[in-house]
Structure 1
Amino acid sequence: MSSHKSHGPLFTLSDVIYLILGVISTSFALKSFLVPNHFLDGGVTGISLLFHEVQHWNLGVLLILLNIPFIILAYFKVSKHFAIRSSVAITLIALILNFAHFPELTHDKLLVAIFGGFFLGIGIGLCMRGGGTFDGMEVLALMTFKKSSFSITEIILGMNIIIFLIAAFFLKKETALYAILTYVVASQITKYVIEGIEAYTGVTIVSANSEEIKKALVLTLNRGITVYKGERGFMKESFEQSADVDIIFTIVTRLEVRKLQNIVRSIDPKAFIFTNTVREPQGGIVKEIVKH
């Protein structure tokens, strides 16, 4: 029995738009760049392309068959809605691969790797924004993530390394190397499409005026904060001199970083501020970008 309950309608208008655009972008990447040039990618899509190249089996049928176990897993372990949306996306891509025509735009290997990965990444990201996926490897990575200390990105990378090594054995080593380039481009574009301008940034602030800064962040910027108790000072010339201080931590979107810095600087120009990228935030009041 799944521990995840589905809420809301099966499809919203935004879901449909994202899924359709994702399917079109993915199909375009495969038909116009990767398939005509015998290129590979990572995940189940990469395995399907590998079988298609080695055994000449139908790519659309392979995508459906190889994703079935992962869709079943998603149905019970993620959510019914996620599984159904993913099934629709995979089926539409398979139909387009078999019945639609896209022009072959280039045979330059570098351009194929870059632009094939670019449109594939857009397709993956849009499908995920629509609450589904067309590559079951992400579902397996999500399941493994819950039982390991590795991030989802690291798990998917590890799985794809195995795929690329197999590709190097059955196909040319050059093909495997270009597959890695395609995967890197696709993964970076996917990350941008999913996170977009809402990519999260963690901000840590150390200031003697922490009380004013806390009020400004919560009441003006409307952000939740976490406060650590610490000490400041410990300079080389005055090592013995220190003072208690509240160390403030908050998470904002990429566009809010500059606004936050301006607020803090207006209160304490000497405040120590540093930022770091926040990956896969969960819980608290941070909203989820990708729906499951």
Structure 2
Amino acid sequence: MPALTKKKVKDFIVDGVFFLVGSFIFAISVNTFTAPNNIAPGGLTGAATMLNYVCGIPIGVVTLLMNIPIFLWGLFEVGYRFIIKTIVATILSSVMIDLTVDILPQYQGDMLLTTVFGGFFSGLGLALIFVRGGTTGGTDLIANLISLRVRHLSLGRLVLIVDMVIVVISAFVYKSFESPLYATIVIFITSKVIDVVLYGSDIGNGKMIFIISQKNEEIAQRIMDRIGRGVTELRSRGAYTKQNGEVLLCAVSRQEVYKVYDIIHSIDPDAFTIVGEAGEISGEGFKQMQKNHAESKRKKQKDKHNS
């Protein structure tokens, strides 16, 4: 078996294991903590949880059905290779939720523990899926597709808008003011756990990605088109081969790293990639520039006042 084929088989197996384990852990969050306590923590899973409460339709089935038109939209916009892992991960997570609904215990005790552990298991499960380049569809995929058309809105803001709409609706569905508050806590903990699992506890403001590939132009163009981040070409020279080449440099947010990985892997599985911590990033697309400007302005005003 050729080396490349062996690598593909190995990647396929590893992807499957991570997706299965991640889906099971995510199902624990839904079936043990959030759904039994009337918490709809955003996303299509949150919408499916509300429909399950109203109509009794299985959460996994509803989630999968709602994702189908999004998949078709994604296939039309970005093609099969870009969302195949998302399709697989979404199917697995949806099936896992319904398969384990009668197996997993339901916790209906302290609501603070419910939100903490619901967010923890949700974040851990999703992170295992994200680390292999997949997502569970829903708001993440919707935000990616909308961002291709609406460049002035960030992906994070788009995801937040959709999630918060679902959270607000949950207050009317469950007829409870507390339900959306608990859902907000779950969303917050989920995002923090994902960051820690994917990028460690020492989290800066962004990541620097260096890419060495034989398909630099295609990778750079895809990153600019799909994620909306700029890419810089750096001239390089191999110490061993003495050949001139180029290294791609891209600064991204923490949440975008796995998306860049997915793009690179879909174009050139043999590409060499280095991800480094960026303690501070200033410029277009990053809030730090505005923060630095505001701090500098306050400092000048303070100095002027003291003088």
* TM range, smaller chain: 0.5 to 0.7
3-state secondary structure, aligned to 2:36: coil
3-state secondary structure, aligned to 1:36: helix
TM-score normalised by length of structure 2: 0.60
Q: Give the aligned partner of residue 115 of structure 2.
A: 113
Which of 117, 128, 131 aligns to 2:130? It is: 128
TM-score normalised by length of structure 1: 0.63
- State whether residues 122 and 193 of structure 1, in contact with CA within 8 Å, keep that contact through their aligned partners in structure 2: yes
Distance in 2, Cα, partners of 1:12 & 1:279: 38
Q: Give the aligned partner of residue 99 of structure 2.
A: 99
- State whether residues 202 and 278 of structure 1, in contact with CA within 8 Å, keep that contact through their aligned partners in structure 2: no
The offset of 1:12, in angstroms, is 2.8
Give the aligned CA root-mean-square deviation in angstroms: 3.5
Identity across matched positions, percent: 27
The offset of 1:105, in angstroms, is 4.2
The offset of 1:53, in angstroms, is 1.5
3-state secondary structure, aligned to 2:105: coil
Distance in 2, Cα, partners of 1:24 & 1:280: 39
Letter in 1 for 2:89: A
Structure 1's unaligned 5+ residue stretches are 1-7, 204-218, 227-250, 258-274, 282-292
Structure 2's unaligned 5+ residue stretches are 1-6, 208-238, 240-246, 251-273, 286-307
Distance in 1, Cα, partners of 2:126 & 2:191: 9
- State whether residues 41 and 182 of structure 1, in contact with CA within 8 Å, keep that contact through their aligned partners in structure 2: yes
The offset of 1:115, in angstroms, is 0.9
Which of 175, 181, 189 aligns to 1:177? It is: 181
1:226-273 C-alpha deviation (Å, 9 max, x unpaired):
9xxxxxxxxxxxxxxxxxxxxxxxx9734xx7xxxxxxxxxxxxxxxx
3-state secondary structure, aligned to 1:102: coil
- State whether residues 164 and 176 of structure 1, in contact with CA within 8 Å, keep that contact through their aligned partners in structure 2: yes
- State whether residues 45 and 59 of structure 2, in contact with CA within 8 Å, keep that contact through their aligned partners in structure 1: no
Which of 125, 131, 156 aligns to 2:159? It is: 156
Change (3 A) 1:35 1:170: closer
Determine which structure has more spread, i.e. the larger CA radius of gyration: 1
- State whether residues 127 and 133 of structure 1, in contact with CA within 8 Å, keep that contact through their aligned partners in structure 2: yes
Q: Give the aligned partner of residue 194 of structure 1.
A: 198
Letter in 2 for 1:182: V
Change (3 A) 1:12 1:154: same
- State whether residues 71 and 136 of structure 1, in contact with CA within 8 Å, keep that contact through their aligned partners in structure 2: no
Q: Give the aligned partner of residue 77 of structure 1.
A: 77
Letter in 1 for 2:94: A
Distance in 1, Cα, partners of 2:123 & 2:194: 4
Q: Which stretch of the first structure deviates more once superposed, 54-63 or 12-21?
A: 12-21
Count of aligned pairs between the two proteins:
214
3-state secondary structure, aligned to 1:253: strand
1:139-158 C-alpha deviation (Å, 9 max, x unpaired):
11012223232221111111
Q: Give the aligned partner of residue 42 of structure 2.
A: 42
The offset of 1:197, in angstroms, is 6.6
